[in-house]
Amino acid sequence: MVFVLFGISVLVFLIFFATPGADPAARIAGRNASPETLEQVRASFGLDRPLPVQYALMMQRLFITGELTSFVNRGERVVPEVMEAAPVTLSLVFGGAVLWVAGSLVIGLTAAAFRNTVVDRGLMILSLIGVSMPVFWVGEMLNLVTQNRLHDTVLFSWVPALGYKPLLADPWDWFKTMLVPWVSLAILYIGLYGRVLRASLVEAEQEDYIRTARAKGLSEFHILTRHALRMSLIGFVTLFGLDFGVLVGGGALLTEVVFGLQGVGKLTFDALHTLDLPMIMATVMYSSVFVVLANTVVDLLYAVIDPRVRAR
Amino acid sequence: MALASSGRRFGLAAALLAGASLLAAAPGARAALDPAHKGGTLHLLTHAPEGTLDPQINYTLKNWQLYQFLYDGLVAFQKAGGSAGFKIVPDLAEAIPTPTDGGKTYVFKLRKGIYFSNGKEVTVDDVVHSFNRIFRVSGPTAGTFYADIVGAPECLKKPAGCTLPGVVGDAANDTVTFHLIAPDAEIMDVLAVPHASILPADTPDKDLGTTAAPGTGAYMIKSFDPAKEMVMVRNPHFKVWSEAAQPDGYPDEIDYSYGLTDEAQITAIENGQADWSFDPPPADRLAELGTKYASQVHLTPLTAMWYVPFNVNIEPFDNKDARQAVNYAIDRNAVLKIFGGPALGTPTCQILPPGFSGYEPYCPYTKNPGKKWSAPDMAKAKALMQSSGKIGAPVTIITEDTEVSRDIGTYLQSVLNQLGFKASVKPISQDIEFTYIQNTKNKVQMSVTQWYQDYPAPSDFLNVLFSCNSFHPGSDASVNIAGFCDHKIDADMQKALTTSITDQKAAASMWAAIDREVTDASPVAVLFTPKHVDFVSKRVGNFIFNAQYYWIMPQSWVK
Amino acid sequence: MSGAELLPAVAWDEPALPQEPARGYWASACRKLARDRTAMTALGVLALIVVACLLAPLYADRVSHTDPFASNLNGTITLGGQDVAVMQPSTAGLGLGVTPIGPTWRWGPYLLGADTQGRDVAARLLYGGRNSLLISSLATLICLVLAAATGTIAGFFGGAVDRVISWLLDVLWAFPVFLLAISLSIVLISHGITIGPIDISAGSLALPILIIGLIYVPYVARPVRGQVLALRRSEFVLASIGLGMPDTRILLRDVLPNVMTTLIVFAPLMLALDMVAEAALSFLSIGVQPPDASWGTIIQDGDTLLYTRPIVAAAPGIAIVITVLALNVLGDGVRDALDPRSKVRVR
Quickly count: other Cβ atoms within 10 Å of residue A7's Cβ.
Answer: 17
Mean pLDDT of B395-400: 94
Domain with C260, as residue range(s), is 23-58+120-338
Q: Helix, strand or coil for residue B298?
A: strand
Give the angle C58-C59-C64 at the CA atoms, nearest 5°: 130
* Listed range (A223-227, B122-126, B351-355, B526-530) with the worst mean pLDDT: A223-227
Q: Helix, strand or coil for residue B428?
A: strand
CA distance B528 to B363: 12
pLDDT surpassing 90 at residue B186: no
**Residue percentage of chain B with pLDDT more than 90:** 71
| Residue B312 one-letter amino acid | V
pLDDT of residue B201: 93
pLDDT, tens digit, 9 for 90 and up, residues B278-334: 999 999 999 999 999 999 999 999 999 999 999 999 999 999 999 999 999 999 999
Dihedral, B548, B554, B556, B557 alpha carbons, nearest 10: 180
All residues of chain A having their beta carbon less than 8 Å from the beta carbon of residue C7 are 208
From B414's Cα to the closest Cα of chain C, the distance in A is 5
pLDDT band, residue B274 (cuts 50/70/90): very high
Its sign, for the CA torsion A164, A170, A171, A173, is: negative
> Does B346 touch chain C if contact means CB atoms closer than 8 Å?
no
Contact B396 C190 (CB under 8 A): yes
pLDDT, tens digit, 9 for 90 and up, residues C232-284: 877 777 777 788 878 787 777 778 888 888 898 889 889 988 988 888 888 88
Non-local CB neighbours of B228 within 8 Å, separated by 6+ positions: A262, B257, B258, B259
| Pick from C98, C291, C305: CB nearest B341 | C98
**Beta pairing, strands B446-447 & B394-400:** parallel
Mean pLDDT of A279-286: 91
CA distance A184 to C111: 30
pLDDT of residue B3: 27
The pair phi, psi for residue B86, each rounded to 5°, is -85, -10
pLDDT, tens digit, 9 for 90 and up, residues C13-64: 555 555 544 556 667 778 888 888 888 999 999 999 999 999 999 999 888 8
**What is the tally of structural domains in chain C?**
1
CATH of the domain at C224: 1.10.3720.10
- The answer to whether position C154 is within a domain reads yes
Q: Which chains touch A (3 or more CB pairs under 8 A)?
A: B, C
- The answer to whether position C102 is within a domain reads no
**Residue percentage of chain B with pLDDT more than 70:** 94
All residues of chain C having their beta carbon less than 8 Å from the beta carbon of residue B263 are 306-307
pLDDT surpassing 90 at residue C120: yes
- More confident: C12 or B508: B508
pLDDT surpassing 80 at residue A213: no
Q: Helix, strand or coil for residue B437?
A: helix
Average per-residue pLDDT for chain A: 84
Interface A:C, Cβ pairs < 8 A: 160
Residues 17-76 of C with CB under 8 A from A: none
Average per-residue pLDDT for chain C: 84
CA distance B61 to B41: 22
- The answer to whether position C31 is within a domain reads yes
- The answer to whether position C326 is within a domain reads yes
- The answer to whether position C172 is within a domain reads yes
- More confident: C20 or C130: C130
Residues 60-99 of B with CB under 8 A from C: none
pLDDT of residue A307: 63
- The answer to whether position C85 is within a domain reads no
Is C266 in contact with C273 (CB distance < 8 Å)?
no
Residues 269-308 of B with CB under 8 A from A: 270-271, 273-274
* Listed range (A185-199, A226-240, B123-137, B535-549) with the worst mean pLDDT: A226-240
Mean pLDDT of A270-296: 89
Which of B248, B307, B356 lies closest to B519, judged by CA?
B307
- The answer to whether position C111 is within a domain reads no
Contact B338 C73 (CB under 8 A): yes
> Does A169 touch chain B if contact means CB atoms closer than 8 Å?
no
Is B515 in contact with B462 (CB distance < 8 Å)?
yes
Q: Is C179 exposed, middle or buried (0-12, 13-18, 19+ CB in 10 A)?
A: buried
ipTM above 0.95, yes or no: no
Mean pLDDT of B77-82: 89
pLDDT of residue C178: 83
Which of C346, C279, C347, C281 lies closest to C319, judged by CA?
C279
Which of B396, B405, B477 lies closest to B5, judged by CA?
B405
CA distance B300 to B302: 6
Give yes or no for a cis peptide into C291 (omega within 30° of 0): yes
pLDDT band, residue B124 (cuts 50/70/90): very high
Q: Helix, strand or coil for residue B22?
A: coil
From B108's Cα to the closest Cα of chain A, the distance in A is 28
- The answer to whether position C96 is within a domain reads no
- CA closest to A82 among chain B residues: B227
pLDDT band, residue B19 (cuts 50/70/90): very low
pLDDT of residue A17: 84
Query: Whole-prediction pTM value?
Result: 0.87
Mean pLDDT of A220-237: 74
**Beta pairing, strands B276-277 & B297-301:** unpaired
pLDDT of residue B1: 19
All residues of chain C having their beta carbon less than 8 Å from the beta carbon of residue B376 are none
- More confident: B91 or C252: B91
Helix C177-190 vs helix A2-18: crossing angle, to nearest 10: 20
Q: Is B511 exposed, middle or buried (0-12, 13-18, 19+ CB in 10 A)?
A: buried
Rg (CA), chain A: 24
Q: Which domains does chain A possess?
A: 2-65 (no CATH), 85-305 (1.10.3720.10)
| Pick from C183, C223, C302: CB nearest A238 | C223
| Residue B165 one-letter amino acid | P
CA distance A66 to A77: 8
Is B132 in contact with B125 (CB distance < 8 Å)?
no
pLDDT, tens digit, 9 for 90 and up, residues C272-326: 889 888 888 888 888 888 889 999 889 988 988 999 999 999 999 899 989 988 9
Mean pLDDT of B434-456: 89
pLDDT, tens digit, 9 for 90 and up, residues A163-209: 888 888 888 899 999 999 999 999 989 988 998 888 888 877 777 67
- CA closest to A148 among chain C residues: C307
CA distance B100 to A191: 79
* Listed range (A126-140, B160-174, B262-276, C120-134) with the worst mean pLDDT: A126-140
Non-local CB neighbours of C24 within 8 Å, separated by 6+ positions: none
CA distance C189 to C203: 10
Quickly count: other Cβ atoms within 10 Å of residue A150's Cβ.
Answer: 14
Q: Which of C37, C175, C224, C261 best tests the A interface by mutation, with the highest count of A CBs <10 A? A: C175
- CA closest to C186 among chain B residues: B428
